[in-house]
Structure 1
Amino acid sequence: MSFDVFAQRFVGGEPAEAENGVLSELLAPHLMRVESESDFAELHFDDGTADFYGVAEPGTGFMVNHVSGQLAWELFVRMASAGDMALMAPGVPTMIFSEEVRQHLPEGLAEDAVVLSSGADILRTFANA
């Protein structure tokens, strides 16, 4: 998947920080190459790779692209769930991983948001968009 997918936590419709320590801990085992000057990391999984932007402080939000395989999507579900974050991509409904997150989304994102629970759900959402 080569388009950009953004992750962001919202509180009261405004961008907010997520728990950075938990997100960094989830991310750490998959770091293959880190370019700290550009806040970029290449992630490695048993079935593929992903480009990750926001590696220094993933709790402030992050972006992924060039994702191959399904295991990367499972990681992004765990990260989004742990941080109460929404995933957003062009032409795709906002993806959330708890109904409670919907109340904090900005106007225009909440109405069509879909609650998902797995990486396979994300891939189905992309395919159905």
Structure 2
Amino acid sequence: MSFDVYAQRFAGGEAAEAENGVLAELLAPHLMRVEPEFDFAELHFDDGTADFYGVAEPGSGFMVNHVSGQLAWELFARIASAGDMVLMAPGVPTMLFREEVRQHLPADLAQDAVVLSSGADILRTFANA
């Protein structure tokens, strides 16, 4: 999948920092190639790869694209859940991983947001959009 998917935590309707230590810990085993000057990393999974932007501070939000396989989406679901982040992509409802997060979103993102629990749910959301 080559379109851009953004992850961000919100508090009171504004972009906010997520807890960075846990997110970096989840990301670390998948780092294949890191280019800190571009805040970029190529992630590797048993069934594919992903381009990850925001590797220096994943808690401040990140973007992924060129994602192949399903395991990457499972990781992004775990990261988003751990950081109370949402995933956003063009033409797709805002994806959240705990209903409690909805109250922190800007109204335009909260309105059609869907609650998901896995990478498979993310892929179904893309397919249904």
CA distance in 2, matches of 1:86, 1:117: 12
**Any gaps of 5 or more consecutive residues in structure 1?**
none
Helix, strand or coil at the partner of 2:107: coil
CA distance in 1, matches of 2:118, 2:81: 10
- Displacement of 1:9 in angstroms is 0.1
Q: Give the match for residue 98 of structure 1.
A: 98
Helix, strand or coil at the partner of 2:3: coil
Scaled by the length of structure 2, the TM-score of the pair is 1.00
CA RMSD after TM alignment? 0.3
Within-5 A mapping of 1:70-89: 70-89=70-89
Render the CA deviation track for 1:24-70: whole Å, top value 9, x for unaligned: 00000000000000000000000000000000000000000000000
Equivalenced residues, count: 129
CA distance in 1, matches of 2:101, 2:55: 23
Q: Which has the higher helix share?
A: 2
CA distance in 1, matches of 2:68, 2:6: 16
CA distance in 2, matches of 1:128, 1:81: 22
CA distance in 2, matches of 1:78, 1:113: 18
2:110 paired with 1:113 = no
CA distance in 2, matches of 1:24, 1:57: 8
